[in-house]
Structure 1
Amino acid sequence: MNTGDSMKAEAFQTIRYDVGDGVATITLNRPAQKNALDKVMRAELAEAVAEVRRDRSIHALVLTGAGGAFCAGGDIRGMQSGAGTAEEGRDRMLDLHLWVEELINFDRPVIAAVDGPAFGAGFGLALAADFVLATPRARFCLSFLKLGLIPDCGVFYTLPRVVGLQRAKELAFSARELGAEEARQLGIVAEIHEPDAIAGRAREIALSFTAASLTALSISKRVFNAAPTSTLGALLEMEAAGQGVARSSEYHRNAVAAFLNKEAPPYSWPK
């Protein structure tokens, strides 16, 4: 992490933001509150996500939480002060949506490392990632209905794409907890690792992407995100245009040369 990154990290009150070796890590850092999202954390996440998006030297992003929790959702104590008018509530959500949309559409891989609770908006935050790693003690819950609220943090977009519409409704309407193994069976969790290993595995995966083509990663993620609402013709057109760009890249030419010379490929998924 360079000096500029260190100064920025020290400026945050509720998160840690670190950059090194082409990987950014955002750590939710309110462990006494199980990393619940308050007004300050939402604003700092907006700043950090915008910084990651601007920095083209970053090839992957890791999201995690401090103190044995990922994120307990919204800060319920902060809700006691009242929601204000409907217009004020909507404006607050629109501010949230600015960075949630940037995170979902971030054109490089995002890995969430979930230990402990990922409830409410914390579940939504995990779903914004491309890959969710979990510990055996991870718990997921769309707890909104228990508070008379509807899912937020992009859940209406992300969850049905992972588990299907009927299962997404069941998880939202039951507001029940999922353990790590059931979440893996539903396709929410990609891998399960012990608490002392999950951070290392998340970083190992993130670092592997620094050897991949940033152009190919970016285009592939954009097309995948567009796939559920696009026609076959539109997707084939995106595929053709994207492949044309990828094939013209220096990375592709070097990878082909390595293959022809029977050299190891520049990128491989870490086993």
Structure 2
Amino acid sequence: METIRYAVEDGIATLTLDYPARKNALNGVMRREIGDVIHQLRQDTSVRALILTGAGTDFCSGGDISSMQGEFTAAQGRQRLNNIHPWLEALIQLEIPVIAAVDGAAFGAGFSLALTADIILATPRARFALPFLRLGLIPDCGVFYTLPRMIGLQRAKALMFSMRELDAEAAREQGIVMEIVPADSLQERARSMARAFTEASPVAVALTKKALNASLNQDLHSMLAMEADGQGIAFATEYRQEAANRFLSKQPPRYRWPD
């Protein structure tokens, strides 16, 4: 692949945006290659967690503006997004946890891409912004769905309208970043979290993520029904039986969150 790197090791997949000469900007080739990887990932039942990260000193500077020059029809502008929406939706709905390890710039579509993750880790030099209006464009790559659910509608509007740049600490205060990690520890912290999921019940993790993703769009009755159905499936797994036996025999649990 030309613009990304993808590797799977010990049940952990790592997708690295690898176009540092342009601060990992999302050009047409990268968009296609990410789509190919997400399709491949969905078929690989050995993977228990995915890490999203960027090569060099930036996560992703957004869309490649050099590809936006000249005139576009409305149909062409619409098609640019219709081409990537299938893999964006698949990424958000992956049944495995996704951890974004963000260093440097996560601007525009790069910020949107980070928001597809379940957990965002950032270095002290990470920066987040949605400067779409500066180019006469609207925020894209799923951010109308992900950001309001994460920080609330008013704060999402403020970030989109103001185009304000958030440093890592401000992003953590708003609930976007979960942890701030030194740059030289970022990848290992992401991997330590990912490794924890390799010892968790894949069925329980998938059901938990599915319920959480649905929770803001459903009523109480629907969520209670999803809870009962999911718990029924989880109770029937060999993992649940083994976990109960380990507890009763005073053995340590397999799944433990890293400190």
Name 1:62's counterpart in structure 2. Answer: 51
More displaced 10-residue stretch of structure 1: 241-250 or 95-104 = 95-104
Counterpart AA for 1:156: F
RMSD, aligned α-carbons:
0.6
Q: Is residue 18 of structure 2 the alignment partner of residue 29 of structure 1?
A: yes
Q: Which portions of structure 1, spanning 4 or more consecutive aligned residues, are displaced by more than 2 angstroms?
A: none
Deviation (angstroms), 1:85? 1.7
In 1, the alpha carbon distance for the partners of 2:76 and 2:167 equals 35
Q: Is residue 72 of structure 2 the alignment partner of residue 78 of structure 1?
A: no
What is the CA deviation profile of residues 201-232 of structure 1, one whole-angstrom value per residue up to 9, with x for unaligned ones? 00110111000000001011011000001000
TM superposition score normalised by structure 2: 0.99
What is the CA deviation profile of residues 49-83 of structure 1, one whole-angstrom value per residue up to 9, with x for unaligned ones? 1111111110000000001100000001111144x
In 1, the alpha carbon distance for the partners of 2:176 and 2:94 equals 19
Q: Give the alignment partner of residue 124 of structure 2, picking from 136, 144, 161.
A: 136
For residues 140-179 of structure 1, the aligned pairs below 5 Å read: 140-179=128-167
Structure 2: runs of 5+ lacking an equivalent = none
Name 1:223's counterpart in structure 2. Answer: 211
Query: 2:216 is paired with a residue of what secondary structure?
Result: helix
Name 2:249's counterpart in structure 1. Answer: 261
Name 1:8's counterpart in structure 2. Answer: none
For residues 65-214 of structure 1, the aligned pairs below 5 Å read: 65-82=54-71, 84-214=72-202
Counterpart AA for 1:48: V
Structure 1: runs of 5+ lacking an equivalent = 1-11
Counterpart AA for 1:185: E
Query: 2:7 is paired with a residue of what secondary structure?
Result: strand
Counterpart AA for 1:140: F
Identical-residue share of aligned pairs (%): 57
Query: 2:175 is paired with a residue of what secondary structure?
Result: coil
Deviation (angstroms), 1:180? 0.2
What is the CA deviation profile of residues 16-41 of structure 1, one whole-angstrom value per residue up to 9, with x for unaligned ones? 00000000000000001000000000
Q: Is residue 28 of structure 2 the alignment partner of residue 39 of structure 1?
A: yes
Query: 2:258 is paired with a residue of what secondary structure?
Result: coil
Name 2:226's counterpart in structure 1. Answer: 238
Query: 1:269 is paired with a residue of what secondary structure?
Result: coil
Query: 2:176 is paired with a residue of what secondary structure?
Result: coil
Counterpart AA for 1:46: G
What count of residue pairs does the alignment treat as equivalent?
259
Counterpart AA for 1:66: A
